[in-house]
Amino acid sequence: MSRAALLVLADGRFPAGGHAHSGGAEAAVKAGRITGAAGLEEYCRGRLHTAGLVAGAVAAAAVLGAGVRELDAAVDARTPSAALRGAARRLGRQLLRAARVAWPGAELEALALEFPKGAHQPVVLGVVARAAGLSAEDAAYCAAYESVSGPATAVVRLLSLDPFEATGVLARLAGEVDRVVDRAVEAAREVVGGVGVDALPAAAGPLAEIGAEWHAGWAVRLFAS
């Protein structure tokens, strides 16, 4: 297993399309819930323990061999917002496109054929991580970290926030990322251990779901979601 593959997959410059998405931060900024570093930290903490936990568990379960159809349906059931479901599938499609070049193989080709319109991004992330020789923990770390790094990067652009402050937010959340990953992998092991997808976390942020629908209707916006 090459741990360098984890750095490639988690790198914000990996062409998986994440740079075009704010993780709900654009709507939160406009609603006045994020006005600076303190608000960003609280937003990222909430996102980590909801969307980040779910995504981490799904990605880890995919690495461990859970069925992708069942996982994809489980993500659908945990995502009330049609706008977020659409964004997640677009991100999954873009991630798979990049991964098929980086780590070509039959498993990724089969996933592309099975989901021509794109599977949910955490499902794809797990399959890609396995194709890259990474572990369930690695996939969960990618998902959990992405859940906070995306909004942090977006808020730097949206508010002209000092990037040093945004990086400080991510550093302060590092311990919580570790704990979320532990919970995500534990849930993933239950999924493949016989409990099935009902073992996946179902943590949600209602304001994020509402904000995604509001954001989708804007005529002018900086980010796709």
Beta carbons of 213 and 86 less than 8 angstroms apart: no
Nearest residue to 121 (alpha-carbon basis) of 163, 92, 81, 146:
92
Res. 2: pLDDT tops 90: no
Query: How many angstroms separate the CA atoms of 38 and 33, rounded?
Result: 10
Mean pLDDT of 102-125: 96
**Which CATH number is 138's domain given?**
1.10.4190.10
59 touches 142 (CB < 8 A): yes
- What whole-number percentage of the chain has pLDDT above 90? 94
- Tell whether 8 is covered by a domain: no
The Cβ of residue 105 has, within 10 Å, a number of other Cβ atoms equal to: 12
Query: What is the pLDDT at residue 12?
Result: 86
Domain assignment present for 13: no
Residue 182 included in any domain: yes
Q: Is the pLDDT of residue 159 over 80?
A: yes
Q: Is residue 68 part of a domain?
A: yes
User: Does 2 fall in a domain?
Assistant: no
Domain tally for the chain? 1
How high does pLDDT run on average in the chain?
96
- What's the average model confidence in pLDDT over 190-206? 95
Residue 184 is assigned to a structural domain of this protein: yes
Is 90 a residue whose pLDDT tops 90? yes
* Range(s) of the domain holding residue 165: 19-216
Helix-, strand-, coil-residue percentages of the chain, each rounded to 5: 75, 0, 25
Instruction: Kindly state whether residue 4 falls inside one of the protein's structural domains.
Output: no
pLDDT band at 204 (very low <50, low <70, confident <90, very high): confident
Mean pLDDT of the region 62-79: 97
pLDDT in tens, 93-109: 999 999 999 999 999 99
Cα–Cα dist 27/57, whole Å: 26
Q: Domain for residue 141, yes or no? A: yes
pLDDT, position 1: 59
